[in-house]
Amino acid sequence: MKSIFFKNRKSNPKDAARSNRRAVTFVFCLLISIFIWLLVSLSKEYTISVNFPVKYTNLPADKLIVNQLPEIIDIEIRSSGFNLLIYKMKQHRETIMLDIKDAKSTSIKNNFYINCNNHLDKVTSQFSSAIKVVHIKPDTVFINYNKKTSKTVPVKVNLNIEFAEQFQQTDSVQIEPKTIEIMGTKEVLTTISFVESVVTNLKKVDKTVLMDLKLVKSSTMKQVEFSQNSVKVKVNITKFTEAIVELPVEVENLPNGLNLKTFPDKIAVKYQVAYNDYGKINPSDFKIAVDYSKIEQGSNKLKVQIVKFPENVRSVKLSNERVEYIIRK
């Protein structure tokens, strides 16, 4: 028996290059075939169902829709694969308009309906010429009207302010407008006494606030219309400082022929005032006093009252709220 020996052949670089070229050519031809197949497939017509947001137009000015209308409708559209692929990939689609004037009355008072599929041409006109609307779901939209009434209510602002150190609000919150008109059914409006703004929190405020606040609707106000959706708010804010003035204690309602002396006879009055008004304050703008007619038997003390202080100061406090006294003839 003869032994046969095989010698290992060394790989030929030319053979490897030819194999690589053949593989690249195959992949290229495959991609071209897929591309052509896609072109042919996408050029054909197809029908698909797509969800669209809907808006209702031409609502009667004197009436209110009291039932919940569909916010999304399903529309079957027919077009080439290219166009339909675009609609499928869109995250934000066109809003479809349904005309309330197309509604017809039912046998029930204030009840109407729109047969959507009777108005396919109107809906189709809202798309490009390459799109045809085939069917709409729901087929019928029912509308329940009620007479609209109006009412004027105040606006309540939900504004929480945390002031920076030494800063304070100088006056009340200014709201423009202070009242708005609301429209809805009589039954609903009787339950509404005011409208509110969105809750807003501000921190470390050191200057006047000017802002628009959005008005919010509670769960019972879904069918209520507002004459406007926001109000302008202004809060005047300024820096304050603390000041002290020492005043003599005066006596009120003292009978003739008597002399009442207090101990001490002068009391320090602390108050806060805006920086801009600090130089405008005079001691004569204040007055503190005790009332002779309020002397209590068995007590040698009288309560000190702040009789007068300027309008532009706040947090007025006495260093002593009660003083001792003696009476002389």
CATH code for the domain of 186: 2.170.120.40
| Per-residue confidence (pLDDT) for residue 246, from 0 to 100 | 95
| Per-residue confidence (pLDDT) for residue 230, from 0 to 100 | 96
Is residue 282 in some structural domain? yes
Tell me the pLDDT of the chain (329 aa) as tens digits. 444 444 455 556 666 666 677 766 666 666 666 666 565 555 567 788 888 899 999 988 888 888 888 999 998 888 776 777 776 676 566 789 999 899 898 888 888 999 999 988 898 888 877 788 889 999 999 998 888 899 999 999 999 999 999 999 998 999 999 999 999 888 889 999 999 999 999 999 999 999 999 999 988 888 889 999 999 999 999 999 999 999 999 999 999 989 999 999 999 999 999 998 999 999 999 999 999 999 988 889 999 999 999 999 999 999 999 999 998 87
Same-domain status, 56 and 140: yes
Is residue 17 in some structural domain? no
| Per-residue confidence (pLDDT) for residue 14, from 0 to 100 | 61
| Per-residue confidence (pLDDT) for residue 15, from 0 to 100 | 62
Final residue before a domain boundary, out of 129, 147, 165 = 147
CATH code for the domain of 252: 2.170.120.30
User: Does pTM surpass 0.85?
Assistant: no
- Domain count of the chain? 3
Same-domain status, 138 and 159: no
Is residue 139 in some structural domain? yes
Same-domain status, 136 and 51: yes
Is residue 185 in some structural domain? yes
CA distance 322 to 261: 13
Final residue before a domain boundary, out of 147, 165, 184 = 147
- Angle formed by the axes of helices 13-43 and 81-89, nearest 10°: 90
Is residue 59 in some structural domain? yes
| Per-residue confidence (pLDDT) for residue 86, from 0 to 100 | 73
Per the CB < 8 A criterion, the answer to whether 158 and 233 are in contact is no
Same-domain status, 185 and 139: no
Same-domain status, 134 and 53: yes
Final residue before a domain boundary, out of 85, 118, 147 = 147
Bridge partners, 212 (sequence order): 232
Tokens of 216: 């919010």
CA distance 48 to 141: 22
Structural domain including 121 reads: 46-147
